[in-house]
Amino acid sequence: MTELETAQAEVNISDRAAKEIRRVMAENNIPETAGLRMGVKGGGCSGFSYLLGFEESSRDTDKIIDSNGVRVFVDIKSLPYLAGVTLDYQDGLSGKGFTFDNPNATRTCGCGHSFSA
């Protein structure tokens, strides 16, 4: 990914995921000024694992993305792997939780939290 593509990369938060993120933030008294940290780390059964969590503020090297009313912090090393990803939330018979639709993934594992690119 070129520097320009990385600078313009977006992360998408679905309506269901945004609703669940706001619910979790309210339940845990996380300030609205905080953001959702999204990233990847080496490991998992397919090579990379997704990271999700809340942080009060961004870091100097983060790309800050606003998607569906959710502030997202992505570090520059993770950004090429997350460019174009959509975070969704599923609540059905097979379980509930966040899911990642990642156009950069060449392979994923059964758990849905690990991928290779």
Domain around 30: 3-105
Mean of pLDDT over the chain: 83
Dihedral (CA of 37, 23, 12, 33) sign:
negative
Mean pLDDT of 8-37: 92
Where do the DSSP E strands lie in 1-117?
A: 12-13, 35-42, 48-55, 62-67, 70-75, 86-92, 95-101, 107-108, 114-116
Q: Is residue 20 assigned to a domain?
A: yes
Q: Is residue 114 assigned to a domain?
A: no
Q: Is residue 112 assigned to a domain?
A: no
Q: Is residue 113 assigned to a domain?
A: no
- When divided into structural domains, the chain yields a total of 1
Mean pLDDT of 34-58: 86
Q: Is residue 117 assigned to a domain?
A: no
What pLDDT is recorded for position 1? 45
Task: Report pTM.
Answer: 0.80
Cβ–Cβ < 8 Å for 10, 67: yes
Q: Is residue 98 assigned to a domain?
A: yes
Residue 17 scores a pLDDT above 90? yes
| 48 band by pLDDT with thresholds 50, 70 and 90 | confident
CATH number, domain with residue 71: 2.60.300.12
